[in-house]
Amino acid sequence: MRVARDLDKTLSQTDYEALATLRYTLRKFMDFSTSAAQHEGLPPQQHQALLAIKGNPQGEAMTIGMLAERLLIAPHTATELAGRLIDAGYVSRHPDPADKRRQTLRLTKKSEDILRRLSAIHLREIRDMAPELIHILTHLQADVGGK
């Protein structure tokens, strides 16, 4: 934390404004994401879980532990989430061929279709927001290098 204390002495009003604007922009995106997921009938955490499963690197099966790590939730919470996704027909659970004690998660066709629609509109929103985010991040990065 020494670095944070040292940095605090050099923060300018524009640094605070940039940080506040970044947080505001990220909140707007999260609000957009929540609304889009709910429009598809998904709670936001379920949408995030589907994206984490789909976005797992090729060839790597998603486990409950990996899902917990990717969503920054406790393993028992990931187990409950996976159970809800399975009950809703969005995910199927399979024994890991390499380790029968582990369960892997796979998306169903139903979830693939929903996720494709959600991801397309999310990418469009991110692309629309990109210039503003790049401007904010460039400002923050330039100030760090210049101090």
Residue 1 has a pLDDT of: 46
Q: Is the pLDDT confidence value at 145 over 90? A: no
- pLDDT-based confidence at residue 58 (cuts at 50, 70, 90): confident
What's the gap between Cα 141 and its chain centre? 23
- pLDDT-based confidence at residue 132 (cuts at 50, 70, 90): very high
Q: What is the mean pLDDT of the chain?
A: 91
Q: Taking residues 75-96, report their average pLDDT.
A: 96
The 10s digit of each residue's pLDDT in 28-50 is: 999 999 999 999 999 999 999 99
Look at 14-18, 73-77, 91-95, 97-101 and tell me which has the smallest mean pLDDT.
Answer: 97-101
This prediction has a pTM of 0.86
Residue 94 has a pLDDT of: 94
Higher pLDDT, 96 or 16: 16
Distance in angstroms (rounded) separating the CA atoms of residues 73 and 134 = 29
Q: Is the pLDDT confidence value at 5 over 60? A: no
Distance in angstroms (rounded) separating the CA atoms of residues 63 and 60 = 9
Residue 121 has a pLDDT of: 98
Cβ count near 109 (within 10 Å)? 9
- pLDDT-based confidence at residue 10 (cuts at 50, 70, 90): confident
Distance in angstroms (rounded) separating the CA atoms of residues 68 and 145 = 35
Distance in angstroms (rounded) separating the CA atoms of residues 106 and 2 = 44
Residue 96 has a pLDDT of: 85
Q: Are residues 42 and 114 in contact, defined by beta-carbon separation less than 8 angstroms?
A: yes
